[in-house]
Amino acid sequence: MGDFSMTWSDGSIEGERIFKLTGPFTLSTLFDFQDAMRTHHPPITIIDLSEVPYMDSAALGSLLGLHVSCQQHSRRYALVGASDRLQTVFRVSGVHSILVTFSSLAEAETALGGKAASV
């Protein structure tokens, strides 16, 4: 099992922060993710999943928590770079139509366009 890490960086849109996850996203790693989401509240949060080989249901639940929090507080978010495996998890669990997903960071930034509207 690989190591899990998370790093924040600035995006190209004003108010955007990119949170890159690397490694398996599971119950044993999601508490750090949840702490980071509670601590940082940028107007636009991009979660980069391009280096996440798999996630479990607990991690998926934390992404749904991010979705709800963004809706409640008029913030925007997007998940980018999800592999076919992660996209299958989204479809099988029935959340693919709920989560805001894009195949690339550029696509997400274009779609979000820096607008202040909520998800």
Q: Any idea which architecture 5-110 has in CATH?
A: 2-Layer Sandwich (3.30)
For 94, phi and psi rounded to 5 degrees? 80, 15
The full set of domain ranges for the chain reads: 5-110
Residue 1 has pLDDT above 80, yes or no: no
Cβ pair 20, 6 in contact under 8 A = yes
Kindly state the percentage of the chain with pLDDT values over 70: 93
pLDDT of the residue at 13: 86
pTM: 0.89
- The arithmetic mean of pLDDT across residues 66-71, rounded, is 95
Kindly state the percentage of the chain with pLDDT values over 90: 81
